[in-house]
Amino acid sequence: MTKVKKSFFEKLTGSRSIDSSEGGSFERERPMNISNIYSEDTAEAEMIINSSPRMMEREEMHSAPIQEDGEGQLTIDVYQTDNDVVIRSTIAGVKPEDLDVSINNDMITIRGERRKDEEVSEENYYYQECYWGSFSRSVILPVDVLADKIEASMKNGILTIRLPKADNTKTKKIQVRGF
């Protein structure tokens, strides 16, 4: 029986290629550990192991969008209808009274805080993708809006802000007074 050199993947996973001459059934060898891999492949093996999905999940556990000041960045959808600019965001776990929505000139800012109900030590997490803590998001509005007629509501953990568009298409006549 001739010895066939295994591919790097076969060495790493412990699997082997099945040739149709070997009977066509799927077989697996005993799994290999990293110390059984040939030394010439060690650097490549470490690179693959360190970039495996499981290692990446552990390393990227805290990769929620976080601003420089330590606040989380709220994800939003912004779209327009004929009469409104609409901003929608999923804000599960936040009470309406814990939200602050403010408008200044052509920018709207949404701030809030998502609080944990219980403390869990970091080593007990398998995944940690939810963001806990203060968050904010500022959006420059694409059109002029009527600030005094803005409505914000929350239903089923979704914040919806309706900003009525200012009608800039109407021409307003201004009377000039003489002195």
Question: In 34-49, which positions are buried (b, 16+ CB within 10 angstroms) versus exposed (e)?
Answer: eeebeeeeeeebeeee
Task: Please check whether residues 39 and 108 belong to one and the same domain.
Answer: no
Of 148, 142, 140, 143, which is closest to residue 166 (Cα–Cα)? Answer: 143
Q: For the chain, state the CA radius of gyration.
A: 29
pLDDT in tens, 102-131: 999 889 999 999 888 888 888 988 988 888
Please tell me the predicted confidence (pLDDT) of residue 80: 94
The distance of Cα 9 from the centroid of its chain, to the nearest Å, equals 31
Task: Please check whether residues 85 and 34 belong to one and the same domain.
Answer: no
Task: Please check whether residues 78 and 157 belong to one and the same domain.
Answer: yes
Structural domain total, the chain: 2
Of 51, 69, 68, 48, which is closest to residue 59 (Cα–Cα)? Answer: 51
Query: In sequence order, what DSSP letters do the residues of 104-116 get, joined into one string?
Result: ETTEEEEEEEE--
**In a domain? residue 30:** yes
Phi, psi of 84 (to 5 degrees): -135, 160
The enclosing domain of 156 has a CATH number of 2.60.40.790
Q: How many CB atoms lie within 10 A of CB 16?
A: 17
pLDDT in tens, 45-103: 555 555 544 444 444 444 445 555 577 888 999 999 999 999 999 988 888 888 999 99
Domain, as residue range, for 147: 72-119+128-164
Task: Please check whether residues 100 and 137 belong to one and the same domain.
Answer: yes
Task: Please check whether residues 51 and 90 belong to one and the same domain.
Answer: no
